[in-house]
Chain A
Amino acid sequence: MQLHKDILVFDNVASVCENIQNEIRSQIFSVLHRRGAVVGISGGVDSSVTLALAATALGPDKVLGLMLPERDSSSESALLAQKLADTFGVKTITEDITGALEGFGCYRRRDEAVSVVFPEYDPKTYKMKIGIRQSGLKTGLPPVFYLTIVKPDGSEESKILPVNQYAQIVAASNFKQRSRMSMLYYHAERLHYAVVGTPNKHEVEQGFFVKYGDGGADLMPIGNFYKTQVYQLAKHLGVPEEIIKRTPTTDTYSAEQTQEEFFYQLPFEQMDLMWYAFENNISATEVAPVMDMSADEVEKIFLSFHRKQQTTDYLRRGPIHF
């Protein structure tokens, strides 16, 4: 198989959409025996394409868009999600999950861990995020997470996150995705609908999702599509331009943070091609000239992919029965 830069460009995007729409209809009505679909929408491109596909497959009257903001959500997310729903004629409900998260102690547990690393951190005036350094991908080592605080004057400070504090911040923050999943299923069960999940191929295969959080759904129509393909679908379906142009963010921590900075370490155009080459066993020497990298750099990136697949295998597994 020959790698080239346009290998993931659809020849016929309309036909790809039609196949997905047929599959959504068939799975929801004939396999799951549900009357419609609930989709959590965030104003990001993945959830927007998922909602657009569901609305065009089932009819807008059989789809509910749920907006699930919390204290740290960007206000832009709600505006874009509403614009999307209006574009496709889908009814929305907003459920602010801040109270549920306070009940779980999500913010308190997270801030307690942040304060161990930065004693001066005050959640009322500081912001925080965690991320990995881009250069880490080419070191041959697993990524190390850094905690960054943004002070009231806008200056930032970062430190390597000790393992216990890293785990506590992630575990506390995951209440957000799991609370959203609970609310999605509340509405789905109330309406006898299915929950349509929004993860794309990278999120599923690299484990960038929360088990029983955004990974909890009845079907995931874009789970086999690369990010650049999701953008092709978005343009074809008529997703609003502001959503397509928006930089993908985690919208999870109080400080703004891109998905590239948090997890992927590569721009999506490169990530897609590299992942395609990796899963199709295309050699590093063949990939290197296409990506303008050395074969050694490609090998290191492949190694990091392999490691991500291995270490996130646990997330993709259902309960083990024996």
Chain B
Amino acid sequence: MSDTNYDSAGIKSSVLNFVIDSSFGDKEKIDETTFLFREGYFDSMGFVSLIAFLEEKFSIQTADTDLVEENFETVNAITDFVQKKLTIKSN
């Protein structure tokens, strides 16, 4: 089920919870600045699950061109990416 009204804090908290629930690493060390891929918290399967989660939770669509490190490297980067997508959608 998707939710449509999200502020930055709400997005960050949802993404962080998802990341903590679905990664295999030391969950206590994960915060919004942790490098999720460089530090090995997420592999291919985790990345695709993350994309599916974002698309469903925030009703956004990710394009091939969105799949770059700047958009996904940390929870903060993902939050900015989702906010950008939501802004584009609402305009």
Contacts and interface: CB of A to CB of B under 8 A. Distances in A.
A144 B47 contact: yes
B48 A311 contact: no
Nearest to B38: A303
Interface residues of B, number: 20
Contact of B45 (A139, A163, A310): A163
A142 interface: yes
What range describes how many residues of A lie at the interface? Answer: 10 to 19
B64 interface: yes
Nearest to A165: B48
B37 interface: yes
A106 interface: no
Contacts of B43: 142, 307, 310-311
A307 B48 contact: no
A163 B49 contact: yes
Interface string B49-91: 1011000000000101001110011000000000000000000
B40 A141 contact: no
A133 interface: yes
A310 B44 CA distance: 12
A213 interface: no
A310 B40 CA distance: 8
Interface in A294-314: 303, 307, 310-311
A143 interface: yes
Interface of B: 37-38, 40, 42-49, 51-52, 62, 64, 67-69, 72-73
Interface of A: 133, 136, 139-145, 160-163, 166-167, 303, 307, 310-311
